[in-house]
């Protein structure tokens, strides 16, 4: 008798705990399911259907959309996107890591100021900021006029509407996204670990290489993914700063849905980008686990 009542009491407690947890997680979960998981499942379904004549899909099974994605034209666009996103990410890391490191070495009160400065651009519209780059880079823009008037160059350079302009725009847009997680990662490293390395005979540079860098690697990879992912999928920057000459996967996907009206093919492209990102996150998780094997630092 007693046992049963205790058991059921415990069951009730567990149910209450579950309901409590659901109440907290519920709204977020519903939102994500409704506006993320369902569309993703739809996209996944579209990949094996036939295109409708005026957009949409016909419910006829086919693998042709996947075969089409392997066409050299599209593969080269994919390769181009990878290259642009890759270069952007590398540059963002090269610029962002030292910035984050520098911020973490500032006095406490200045760190907060610096972080606000880093996210300040987010307060104005992305599109407007990207337009500003057109003004900045065009042949009569301030960069070219300055260089010409200083006599560094004879005639204005073609800074706009090329791959370099796209990379510059993406880098500008996503640099804060690498600085923030790297800063957080550096802040989490126990300064005593760096002191321990020095004490054991490591120079400052050696300490950075052996202790700081490996311990901040998971955070750095998160930063890299934060830059790589939206760079890869971006279609505004290539359109505005690439002048339509530089086509990236993002443009291609948008065109398939809105102009070519080939939804299934657009879905294949979208899904392949998603698959690629999942792969990246898996890689990050693996590295993080290797570095912090057996849990967080004690």
Partner 1 sequence: MTPSPLLRISHLSKRFGQTVAVDDVSLEIRPNEFFSLLGPSGCGKTTLLRALAGFEDPDSGTVTIAGESGELDLLRLPPERRPINLMFQSYALFPHMSVERNVAYGLQRERLDRAVIRQRVDEVLQTVGLTDKATARPAQLSGGQRQRVALARAIVKRPRLLLLDEPLSALDRKVRAEMQLELKRLQHEVGITFVVVTHDQEEAMSMADRIAVMSDGRVEQVDSPVDLYTRPRTVFVADFIGTSNAFVGTLTSGGVMVPGIGMLPGQSVSADAGPEVTLIVRPEDIRFAPTGQAVLAGHVIDVQYFGGASTVAVRVEGVDRPVLVSCQGTTTLARGDATGLAWDPAAAVLLEA
The residues of the shown chain that bind partner 1, judged by CB under 8 A, are 190, 192-193, 195-203, 206, 210-211, 214-215, 290-298
By beta-carbon proximity to partner 1, the closer residue of 151 and 296 is 296
By beta-carbon proximity to partner 1, the closer residue of 106 and 200 is 200
CB of 228 to partner 1, least distance (A): 24
Closest CA to 272 of 114, 104, 101, 79: 79
By beta-carbon proximity to partner 1, the closer residue of 105 and 206 is 206
By beta-carbon proximity to partner 1, the closer residue of 71 and 195 is 195
Q: Rounded to whole angstroms, how far apart are CA atoms 268 and 67? A: 10
CB of 8 to partner 1, least distance (A): 39
What DSSP element (H or E) covers 51?
Answer: strand 50-51
CB of 190 to partner 1, least distance (A): 7
At residue 286, what are phi and psi to the nearest 5 degrees? -65, -45
Residue written as tokens 């996103």? 85
Q: Where are the alpha helices (DSSP H) in 105-161?
A: 108-119, 126-137, 142-149
Q: Rounded to whole angstroms, how far apart are CA atoms 60 and 278? A: 28
By beta-carbon proximity to partner 1, the closer residue of 91 and 193 is 193
CB of 290 to partner 1, least distance (A): 8
* Tokens, residue 59: 């419910």
By beta-carbon proximity to partner 1, the closer residue of 155 and 294 is 294
CB of 205 to partner 1, least distance (A): 11
Q: Rounded to whole angstroms, how far apart are CA atoms 138 and 157? A: 9
CB of 208 to partner 1, least distance (A): 13
By beta-carbon proximity to partner 1, the closer residue of 187 and 255 is 187
Give per-residue burial for 221-250: e unless 16+ CB within 10 Å, then b. Answer: bbbbbbbbbbbbbbbbbbbbbbeeebbbbb
15 Cβ neighbours under 8 A, 6+ residues apart: none
End-to-end CA distance of the chain: 45
């Amino acid at each position: 008798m007693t046992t049963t009542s205790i058991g059921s009491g415990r069951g009730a407690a567990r149910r209450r705990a579950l309901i409590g947890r659901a109440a907290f997680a519920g709204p977020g979960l519903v939102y994500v399911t409704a506006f993320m998981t369902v569309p993703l499942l739809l996209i996944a379904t579209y990949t094996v259907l036939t295109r409708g004549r005026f957009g949409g899909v016909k419910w006829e099974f086919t693998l042709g959309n996947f075969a089409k994605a392997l066409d050299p034209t599209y593969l080269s666009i994919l390769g181009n996107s990878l290259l642009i996103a890759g270069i952007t990410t590398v540059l963002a890391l090269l610029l962002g890591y030292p910035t984050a490191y520098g911020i973490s070495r500032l006095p406490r009160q200045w760190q907060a100021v610096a972080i606000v400065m880093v996210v300040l651009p987010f307060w104005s519209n992305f599109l407007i900021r990207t337009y500003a780059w057109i003004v900045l880079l065009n042949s009569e823009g301030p960069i070219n006029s300055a260089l010409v008037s200083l006599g560094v160059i004879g005639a204005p350079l073609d800074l706009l509407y090329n791959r370099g302009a796209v990379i510059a725009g993406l880098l500008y847009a996503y640099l804060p996204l690498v600085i923030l997680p790297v800063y957080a990662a550096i802040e989490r490293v126990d300064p005593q670990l760096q002191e321990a390395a020095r004490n054991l005979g490591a120079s400052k540079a050696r300490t950075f290489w052996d202790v700081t860098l490996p311990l901040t690697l998971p955070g750095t990879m998160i930063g890299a993914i934060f830059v790589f992912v939206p760079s890869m999928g971006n279609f505004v920057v290539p359109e505005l700063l690439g002048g339509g000459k530089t086509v990236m996967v993002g443009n291609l996907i948008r065109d398939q849905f809105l102009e070519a009206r080939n939804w299934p093919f657009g879905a294949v492209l979208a899904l392949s980008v998603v698959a690629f990102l999942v792969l990246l996150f898996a890689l990050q998780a693996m590295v993080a686990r290797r570095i912090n094997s057996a849990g967080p630092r004690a």
